[in-house]
C-alpha cells in the first residue's frame, strides 16, 4: 500500500476564495474537471452498530471504510473505494464497477462478489459477510481539485455538501438530497514524502484550523 500524508481543514467561504486564486497561480486543475470542478456522489457503508461512524467520532487512530463513488452523475466510471487511515497517513485503493454491479451492491445483492478476482471487491465482500455492512447514506458535494507534480501534491476544495437522508438509490440522478446545515468548506492537502515550499506558502491561512470533519458523519446526523 502506498501511504500519503493527508491534512484536512475547515475553512470559510472567504478563505476558499483566497485559496482558489492562489492555487490557480501555482497549480494545475485536475484533468477531469469541467469548468474547474466536478460533482462527487458517494454511497457510504456501515454495519448495524455504526462501527465506521463511531470510530470516526471517537477519533480512532486506525480506520477503514468503503464507499462507491460516481462523478458528475456519469455511470460510465464508478469506483468501489477502500480508504485506510493510520494517523495522518492515508491509503486509497479502488476497483471499477459496472452500473449493474454498483446497483446490486446498493441493493444488498452481493453473492456475485465472491467470484471476483479483484482484491478490493473481495475485501469488501468479506467485510459485508463478517460485519454486516450495508448501504447507509448518499453524500453529494462539489470538488475543485488542483495538482502539482513535484511531491505528487493534490489540493482539493470541497463545498455545497448535501445528504440523501435515508435514500441509497445511488444511480438515480433525481434522488432527493438536502444541504447539510452549517457545513463548512473543506480544504485538504495530500502529498507523498516531499511537500514543496511553493505549495506550503500558497496554502497558508491564519484562520484555518486542523479538522476531523467527516462528510459521512455529518450526513448521518440526519438519519
Name the nearest CA neighbour of 11 among 183, 171, 199. Answer: 183
d(CA 3, CA 111): 31
Can you say whether residue 67 is alpha, beta or left, with left for phi > 0 and alpha for psi between -120 and 50 degrees?
beta
Can you say whether the dihedral through the CA atoms of 33, 34, 37, 40 is positive or negative?
Answer: negative
d(CA 96, CA 139): 19
Tens-place pLDDT, residues 162-177: 998 777 889 988 888 8
The Cα–Cα gap between 27 and 42 comes to 26
> In whole angstroms, what is the distance from residue 25 CA to residue 207 CA?
21
pLDDT above 80: residue 207: no
Contact 212, 40 (CB under 8 A): no
Whole-prediction pTM value? 0.92
What DSSP state is assigned to residue 203?
T
What is the structure's pLDDT at 222? Answer: 60
CB of 136 closer than 8 Å to CB of 128: no
Cβ burial, residue 141 (10 Å; 0-12/13-18/19+): buried
Kindly state the cell numbers that stand for 40: 462527487
- What is the distance of C-alpha 53 from the center of its chain? 14
Instruction: With a cut of 90, say whether residue 21 has pLDDT above it.
Output: yes
Spacing of C-alpha 157 from chain mean position: 12
Which pLDDT belongs to residue 106? 93
For the chain, give the mean pLDDT: 91
pLDDT (average), residues 148-161: 96
Lowest-pLDDT range, 69-73, 185-189, 213-217?
A: 213-217
Amino acid at each position: 500500500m502506498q501511504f500519503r500524508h493527508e491534512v484536512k481543514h475547515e475553512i470559510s467561504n472567504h478563505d476558499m476564495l483566497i485559496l482558489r486564486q492562489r492555487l490557480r497561480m501555482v497549480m494545475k486543475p485536475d484533468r477531469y474537471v469541467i469548468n474547474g470542478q466536478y460533482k462527487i456522489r458517494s454511497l457510504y457503508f456501515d454495519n448495524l452498530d455504526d462501527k465506521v461512524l463511531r470510530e470516526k467520532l471517537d477519533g480512532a487512530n486506525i480506520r477503514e471504510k468503503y464507499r462507491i463513488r460516481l462523478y458528475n452523475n456519469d455511470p460510465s466510471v464508478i469506483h468501489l473505494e477502500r480508504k485506510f487511515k493510520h494517523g495522518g497517513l492515508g491509503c486509497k485503493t479502488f476497483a471499477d464497477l459496472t452500473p449493474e454491479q454498483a446497483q446490486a451492491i446498493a441493493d444488498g445483492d452481493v453473492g456475485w462478489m465472491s467470484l471476483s478476482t479483484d482484491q478490493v471487491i473481495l475485501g469488501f465482500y468479506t467485510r459485508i459477510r463478517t460485519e454486516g455492512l450495508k448501504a447507509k447514506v448518499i453524500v453529494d458535494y462539489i470538488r475543485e481539485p488542483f495538482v502539482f507534480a513535484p511531491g505528487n501534491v493534490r489540493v482539493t476544495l470541497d463545498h455545497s455538501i448535501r445528504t440523501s437522508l435515508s435514500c441509497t438509490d445511488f444511480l438515480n440522478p433525481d434522488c432527493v438530497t438536502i444541504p447539510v446545515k452549517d457545513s463548512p468548506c473543506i480544504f485538504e492537502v495530500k502529498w507523498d514524502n516531499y511537500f514543496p515550499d511553493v505549495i506550503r506558502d500558497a496554502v497558508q491561512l491564519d484562520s484555518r484550523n486542523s479538522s476531523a470533519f467527516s462528510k459521512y458523519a455529518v450526513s448521518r446526523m440526519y438519519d
